[in-house]
Amino acid sequence: MSDARPVHVIGARFGLGGRCAGTAEGPAAIRGAGLLARLGAAHDCGDVATGAVARMPGRDPGAALVAEFERAALELRAAVERSLAARALPCVLGGDHSLGAATQAAVGRAARAGGRPVPGIIWIDAHTDANTMESTPSGNLHGMMLAALHGLDVPPFRRVVEGGLRDPRRTVYLGARDIDPEEREIVKRLGCRVIPPEEIERRGAAEVAREALAIAGGDDGGVSVSFDLDSLDPSVAPGVDCHVEGGLSWERAAAILSVIGAAPGVVAVEIVEVNPTADRESRTARLAVEAAALLCGR
């Protein structure tokens, strides 16, 4: 990505999608770890935030929580669309990963509005986030948004993804290793490419990153990128909600992000699931800063 392209930093203080509201403080932690100085000439567009809503027990998150999530997600979608219309690179800071429905739908909507091909997705995460309300064992919204973006009916996301659906055959998962059984079947049926950590280790980060760009970029080269800090091993990034052993080392992740961030077709990036209440000495927040810088080509 050219350094001449402006970067718009958009905070997404989302804390309703998982089980820990601490992720809502992720954007502040990332900024506090030196993000703006690291990015250089970036414009801070401020934050979009979810309010405090009690979650219902069990798998159903409850109508009040879903309504508040939808309100904030539509606001975030509009913010990302404004950034794209200004020909900037939106860099969305999270916050729990349910915010991805808004960011990724905005990319799809903007491409269609401009008569351009809809970019593919590179999703760097311990999870595939492709559950539906029927398959989810937890009811967590941050585990369902890609099912909705890929055209499956997930009621809490219906309005958010409207007009912004993405092609699952152009979605590549990097680092996924914690996939629910029914979710695995969904991902397989949709035709997404899943590259787990052991394959990355065997083949090398650069080769895998190039494959991801080739699949997600298609003929036009356009991609949006979502980086969840739980893609890293918990020993590296303790400040996340969902700790899953066997994750990427920072060296592997940085190599992947460097290759992707140098690609000219990157149209939007997300850095998500930083939970400062679980972090140690801001280690995870500092890695989030470096991830953002690499994906923004800095």
Domains of the chain: 7-295 (3.40.800.10)
Cβ(270)–Cβ(124) under 8 Å?
no
**What are the distances in angstroms from CA 22 to CA 18, 77, 238?**
10, 22, 13
Q: What confidence score (pLDDT) does residue 56 get? A: 75
Q: Which residues are catalytic?
A: 97, 125, 127, 129, 142, 228, 230, 273
Q: How confident is the model at residue 247, as a pLDDT? A: 98
What is the spatial distance between Cα 173 and Cα 188, in angstroms, rounded to a whole number? Answer: 12
What string of pLDDT tens digits covers the 298 residues of the chain? Answer: 445 689 999 999 999 998 888 999 999 999 999 999 999 989 999 999 999 887 777 778 889 999 999 999 999 999 999 999 999 999 999 999 999 999 999 999 999 999 999 999 999 999 999 999 999 999 999 999 999 999 999 999 999 999 999 999 999 999 999 999 999 999 999 999 999 999 999 999 999 999 999 999 999 999 999 999 999 999 999 999 999 999 999 999 999 999 999 999 999 999 999 999 999 999 999 999 999 999 999 8
DSSP string, 112-129: HHTT-PPPEEEEESSS--
Specify the pLDDT at position 60: 83
Please tell me the distance from the alpha carbon of residue 150 to that of residue 255, in angstroms, as a whole number.
Answer: 28
Placement of tokens 């398959």 in the chain: 135
Predicted TM-score (pTM) of this structure: 0.97
Radius of gyration, alpha carbons of the chain: 17
C-alpha angle 67/73/76, rounded to 5°?
A: 150
Query: Tell me, what's the pLDDT at 59?
Result: 79
Are 270 and 103 within 8 A, CB to CB?
yes
